[in-house]
């Protein structure tokens, strides 16, 4: 893999110096070490969370997720590193906190009276509504009474179960299953597979996950807005909570909190519902037979199989016999000329096509200046794979001419559409190019790549990796 989740040694060194410099001030005259002081002593802040699209997961650039990104910013604010501990079950989070396995819980945790008695909450940073989700095409539930006699399941110990318990007083026939070791994504998948009729979920969690379940829809909304916050240990020591209050005041005022939250909301629609529906369909029907090939070829060439598979889906939807009017064929849609250069004798042979595509991608990546770091290097190589290295060089030169960084993908990506405008491409070496297509090509692959990572790293039931 070409991604690293390890922070640079320079960053760690700076944090260590900050911690050392603060020690004399932190501990002088103190008989008992506070939670904040312990954090500085360790040089790290430990986040307790769940693996999921709305909290924490491993993305193409490393650790990420809405909750993780906010806590990582808090750790930077403190001048310490961030560590992560994942709970197998939602109910385990509180126990892990009480056992001292982490400093705080951040997992889309809603304030409830029971939790207020158990934890000390930090400042509210998000609001959500509880929604009832069902499958499109089924009879829409419009109230809790419509769930009577239906197959309903919720996360055990969640605020959703609390709502159903209250409703059961007026609806004694209302029944549901409490799932302890099942994640929200598995419940949503069960609805998509007609194994369940409905579940309850926070609106923001569903918004983030809905792109992976395009067949699901909100039936109705329950209760008022519910506030979400981090949970800390209760007691007299509120040193870490006070720091959290200062942090949230700062990031709310400077807009950085909104930027983190918007980042994930904006990603929800990068692929339209039909596009993601088709992708998930092919993950089940076509990918299983090709998966060993993607894994073996990727391992042989030092690539990430999920990126290689994402490329294959973008090119052909994993159809070994795919062909276009321009003459490109096979899973990786190689031209006859490129196939000949790569020694591919049969473009319709899946293994040859995947292996050829991997080598061609590596060639593109190798031809880029060595100073370009990952992942920018790979995103540029993908653009070159699509439109040619010459056009990518033109885009990089245009980027530099306009004051951007030609070694930074974000800067080059912004200029790609200019290659189709005469006022710009007339001054380039290679002329007109459909740069907007290359831009969309890379963006789509990154989204498919994200989806495969999201499923594999969390043992998602839709994707069983064969080893």
pLDDT over 80 at 58, yes or no: no
More confident residue, 195 or 326: 195
CB of 126 closer than 8 Å to CB of 265:
no
Domain check: are 135 and 208 in the same one?
A: yes
pLDDT of residue 210: 76
The CATH code of the domain that includes 360 is 1.10.530.10
Q: In what order do the strands lie in the sheet with 199-202?
A: 199-202, 126-135, 216-228
Beta strand pairing call for 120-121 and 231-232: antiparallel
Which DSSP string corresponds to 410-444? HHHHHHGGGGGSHHHHTTSSS----HHHHHHHHHH
pLDDT of residue 272: 60
The CATH code of the domain that includes 201 is 3.40.190.10
In a domain, 444, yes or no: yes
Domain check: are 313 and 340 in the same one?
A: yes
Domain check: are 414 and 430 in the same one?
A: yes
Cα R_g (the chain), whole angstroms = 25
pLDDT of residue 128: 86
Q: 41-45, 102-106, 228-232, 327-331 — which is least confidently predicted?
A: 327-331
Q: In which band, very low, low, confident or very high, does the pLDDT at 28 lie, cut at 50, 70 and 90?
A: very low
Closest CA to 257 of 128, 119, 73: 73
Q: In which band, very low, low, confident or very high, does the pLDDT at 251 lie, cut at 50, 70 and 90?
A: very high
Domain count, the chain: 3
Domain check: are 107 and 252 in the same one?
A: yes
The pLDDT tens digits of the residues spanning 287-314 come to: 999 999 999 999 999 999 999 999 999 9
More confident residue, 434 or 222: 222
Domain check: are 301 and 433 in the same one?
A: yes
More confident residue, 372 or 59: 372
Domain check: are 116 and 131 in the same one?
A: no
Q: How far is CA 324 from CA 152, 316, 319, 334, 453, in A?
A: 46, 9, 12, 10, 29
In a domain, 397, yes or no: yes
**φ/ψ of residue 232, rounded to 5:** -125, 170
Domain check: are 182 and 262 in the same one?
A: no
- Domain extent, residue 438, equals 276-456
422 given a catalytic annotation: no
pLDDT over 70 at 17, yes or no: no
Domain check: are 314 and 434 in the same one?
A: yes
The pLDDT tens digits of the residues spanning 311-329 come to: 999 999 999 999 886 678 9
The size of the chain, in residues, is 467
The pLDDT tens digits of the residues spanning 379-425 come to: 999 999 988 899 999 999 999 999 999 999 999 999 998 887 777 87
What percentage of the chain has pLDDT greater than the value 90? 59
**How far apart are the C-alpha atoms of 150 and 174, rounded to whole Å?**
9
Collect all residues with Cβ–Cβ distance below 8 Å to 262 and sequence separation of at least 6: none
pLDDT of residue 463: 57
The first and second tokens of residue 275, run together, are 């596009």
- From the list 179, 185, 315, 355, the catalytic residue is 315
pLDDT over 70 at 204, yes or no: yes
pLDDT of residue 457: 62
- What mean pLDDT do residues 200-209 have? 85
Question: Which range among 8-22, 80-94, 106-120, 358-372 has the greatest average pLDDT?
Answer: 358-372
pLDDT of residue 264: 72
pLDDT over 60 at 178, yes or no: yes
pLDDT of residue 175: 96
pLDDT over 80 at 114, yes or no: yes
CB of 82 closer than 8 Å to CB of 71:
yes
pLDDT of residue 372: 96
Domain check: are 314 and 245 in the same one?
A: no
Residue 62: beta bridge partners? 59
pLDDT over 60 at 14, yes or no: no
Please tell me the pTM assigned to this model: 0.57
Q: In which band, very low, low, confident or very high, does the pLDDT at 239 lie, cut at 50, 70 and 90?
A: very high
């Amino acid at each position: 893999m070409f991604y690293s989740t390890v922070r640079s040694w320079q960053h760690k060194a700076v944090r260590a110096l900050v911690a050392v410099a603060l020690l004399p001030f932190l501990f002088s005259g103190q008989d008992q070490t506070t939670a904040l002081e312990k954090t500085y002593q360790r040089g790290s802040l430990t986040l307790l969370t769940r693996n999921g699209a709305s909290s924490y997961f491993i993305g193409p650039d490393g650790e990420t997720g809405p909750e993780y990104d906010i806590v990582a910013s808090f750790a930077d604010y403190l001048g310490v590193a961030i560590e992560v501990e994942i709970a197998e079950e939602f109910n385990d989070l509180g126990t892990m906190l009480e056992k001292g396995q982490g400093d705080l819980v951040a997992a889309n945790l809603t304030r409830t009276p029971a939790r207020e008695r158990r934890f000390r909450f930090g400042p509210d940073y998000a609001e959500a509504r509880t929604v009832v989700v069902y499958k499109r095409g089924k009879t829409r539930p419009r109230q809790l009474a419509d769930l009577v006699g239906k197959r309903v399941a919720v996360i055990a110990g969640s605020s959703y179960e609390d709502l159903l318990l209250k409703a059961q007083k007026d609806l004694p026939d209302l029944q549901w299953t409490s799932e302890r070791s099942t994640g929200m994504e598995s419940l949503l998948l069960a609805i998509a597979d007609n194994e369940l009729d409905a579940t309850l979920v926070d609106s923001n969690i569903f918004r983030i996950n809905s792109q992976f379940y395009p067949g699901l829809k909100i039936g109705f909304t329950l209760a008022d807005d519910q506030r979400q916050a981090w949970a800390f240990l209760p007691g007299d020591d509120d040193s870490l909570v006070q720091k959290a209050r200062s942090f949230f005041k700062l990031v709310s005022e400077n807009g950085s909190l909104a930027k983190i939250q918007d980042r994930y909301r904006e990603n929800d629609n990068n692929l339209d519902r039909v596009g993601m529906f088709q992708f998930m369909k092919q993950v089940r029907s076509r990918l299983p037979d090709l998966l060993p090939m993607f894994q073996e070829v990727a391992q042989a060439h030092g690539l990430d199989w999920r990126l290689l598979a994402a490329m294959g889906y973008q090119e052909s939807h994993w159809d070994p016999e795919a062909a276009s009017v321009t003459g490109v064929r096979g899973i990786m849609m190689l031209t006859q000329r490129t196939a000949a250069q790569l020694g591919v004798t049969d473009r319709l042979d899946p293994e040859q096509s995947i292996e050829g595509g991997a080598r061609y991608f590596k060639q593109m990546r190798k031809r880029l200046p060595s100073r370009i770091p990952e992942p920018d290097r790979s995103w540029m190589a993908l653009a070159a794979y699509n439109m040619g290295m010459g056009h990518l060089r033109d885009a990089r030169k245009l980027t530099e001419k306009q004051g951007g960084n030609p070694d930074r993908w974000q800067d080059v990506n912004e200029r790609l559409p200019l290659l189709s405008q005469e006022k710009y491409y007339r001054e380039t070496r290679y002329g007109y190019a459909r740069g907007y297509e290359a831009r969309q090509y890379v963006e789509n692959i990154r989204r498919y790549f994200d989806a495969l990572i999201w499923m594999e790293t969390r043992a998602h039931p839709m994707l069983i990796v064969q080893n």
